[in-house]
Amino acid sequence: MPRPAAGLTAACVLALALSPPSGCACGPSECASPDGVAVDVPEARLGDEPLSVVTINLLHGWSDQRNDATLDDRLEVVAAALAELRPHVVLVQEASVTPSDRHCNVVATLRARLAATSGELWGSAHAPRNGADLVSFVEGPGLLARIAFGDVEVLEFEAQQAFERRVAVLAAVEGGPHVVSAHLAHHDDELRDGTLIRVLQARELAGRVAALAPGGALPPAVLGGDLNDVPGSETLDALLDAGSVDLWTQGAPLEAEGGTELVGAVDDPGASYARRIDHLLGFGGVAATGCARVLDAPVDAGGVLLWPSDHAGVSCTVALPDTETH
């Protein structure tokens, strides 16, 4: 368990009890970046090339000594792999903010390492809402991009599990579609009126994407993340029924292994993948021209073989319905 933040005042503790974690300047706030605000946005635009998107759950390491101790090394592995892949947009989940003597801001760290490794400017947006400064830990979804984006929005889910605050981050790519990074609830025993919380969150996501184009036609959008459910589930069906397509089924080679959930520890070279719970979905005519599982093998990090995360990444290159008008 992370150490409690030192020097909390009574007013700070009260603020934490009454408001979101970002509402109190204590704990890991020294490492925080603007909540839901675009940072260091590059000027480069998408152009005529297909949009490439990767989604990856970064495994924050909360309350697990192995995951926490390996986080910085695993971020190095992720940054090196992404710099080689050169996606336009990276959708991340479990991106944490902790005090500077631990890991500080994972999104800011990854952004800096990507820029240094690739020689390109990267921007980011991040919404660490799950957790509290009181325990020196918050995490949430975000995105990094080497092309221009804006109109960042944080979707606050109405349906929530106890003691959690799940959100999604939306942004508009200049010359491209909207992109959405989401991490849905994971417990299978938390229901509201007989429906799983994550199913309700999926319905909220579908409704928000539909609302991006008030005229009725779905706008081009790519939604990705750790949805904590498999193809054929009520969670995925809620998004597919809203007009999305599973980009993996369009773009993955026939022999591709579909599982993304790591079974085993991040320092166990013999771990393997099981369920496909990390997804990229296309709305509004977005279609995959190619997909692959990435960041899915252990890498030597200072003499220790480490998996980048307890999730494999998913990468897709997508074609837009009309790049001139969107």
Q: Which helix (H) or strand (E) holds 248?
A: helix 247-251
Q: How far apart are CA 47 and CA 81, in angstroms?
A: 24
Tell me 213's DSSP state: S
Find where tokens 């969670």 sit: 235
pTM of the model: 0.90
Q: Is the pLDDT reported for residue 238 higher than 90?
A: yes
**What average pLDDT does range 186-209 have in this prediction?**
94
CB atoms within 10 A of CB 121: 16
Q: Is the pLDDT reported for residue 146 higher than 50?
A: yes
pLDDT on residue 14? 31
- 23-27, 36-40, 199-203: range with lowest mean pLDDT: 23-27
**What average pLDDT does range 48-66 have in this prediction?**
92
Its CATH class, for the domain covering 10-319, is alpha beta
pLDDT on residue 28? 72
Q: Which band of pLDDT confidence, cut at 50, 70 and 90, is reported for residue 134?
A: confident
Q: What is the pLDDT of residues 8-33, one digit of tens each?
A: 333 333 333 333 444 344 457 789 88
pLDDT on residue 19? 37
- Residue 22, classed as helix, strand or coil, is helix
The torsion defined by the Cα of 125, 180, 138 and 110, in degrees rounded to 10, comes to: -50
Q: Is the pLDDT reported for residue 326 higher than 60?
A: no
Tell me 219's DSSP state: P
More confident: 311 or 214:
311
Q: Which helix (H) or strand (E) holds 57?
A: strand 51-57
**What is the Cα gyration radius of the chain?**
19
- The domain spans of the chain are 10-319
pLDDT on residue 22? 40
pLDDT on residue 27? 57
pLDDT on residue 16? 33
pLDDT on residue 3? 30
Q: Which band of pLDDT confidence, cut at 50, 70 and 90, is reported for residue 246?
A: very high
**% of the chain beyond a pLDDT of 90:** 75
Q: Is the pLDDT reported for residue 115 higher than 80?
A: yes
302 Ramachandran zone, left/alpha/beta (phi>0; psi -120 to 50): left
More confident: 26 or 133:
133
